[in-house]
Amino acid sequence: MSRSGLFISFEGIDGAGKSSHIDGLAQAFRAQGRNVTLSREPGGTPLAEKLRELVLNDPMDALTEALLIFAARRDHLCQVIEPALARGDVVLCDRFTDATFAYQGAGRGFDTNLLSILERMAQTGVAPEPDLMREPDLTVWFDLAPEVAAERLAGARVPDRFESQPVEFFRRVAQGYADRAAAAPQRFARIDAAQDRHRVWQQLTSVFVRKGWLSIMVPTPGAVA
């Protein structure tokens, strides 16, 4: 019996710790016999990775930034996400469209009505159902105070042009995520990312157990503990 694909995105401000848990979750799904596709945004394809480098490092206006991000997303959907879902894979994606509304919309103050138009254009017509606008089946939101995230990032690496933004920018981004979660509560699962990694992992896996996507609570993998 074939399994339906699952599309799961992971969101949160820089420093929230989401990326460190995605590999562990992939291991948990594979241990239960699922094929897993890991990806990220912007990026996930050769073309989208080139656009990622531009978006993260080159100065540009807000509309150019949004257009490049949605162009990368369209290619990512066509080349990676939709084929993986058609195979029945679990797709784990580090960021998706909620990040665009949080960073470009709330953070930069870009017109969210225009972002909604771009979202509809880029994410429709890629699925087998021609009128479906592809969205994640679940979005896991790692919620963390911007001040705590800034402390975690301090000295970790050379910041890109988003990570180098002031704390006030990330306060707006965090509120953008909160607004997206409030607008689609059935799709979002909030994780309290201020707790230690073990407790964050417990919160994360319990979400998937409740949904029936993992059969048991999974011990914290060594890479996450």
CATH 1.25.40.390 is right for the domain spanning 6-211: no
How do strand 36-40 and strand 90-94 relate by DSSP bridges? Answer: parallel
Residues that constitute the known binding site for ATP: 12-19
Which pLDDT tens digit goes with each residue over 10-68? 999 888 888 889 999 999 999 999 999 999 999 999 999 999 999 999 999 999 999 99
Q: What are the residues facing 166 on neighbouring strands?
A: none
Residues that constitute the known binding site: 12-19
Which pLDDT tens digit goes with each residue over 87-98? 999 999 999 999
| Alpha-carbon distance values, 93 to 105, 107, 140, 155, 195 (Å) | 20, 21, 10, 26, 22
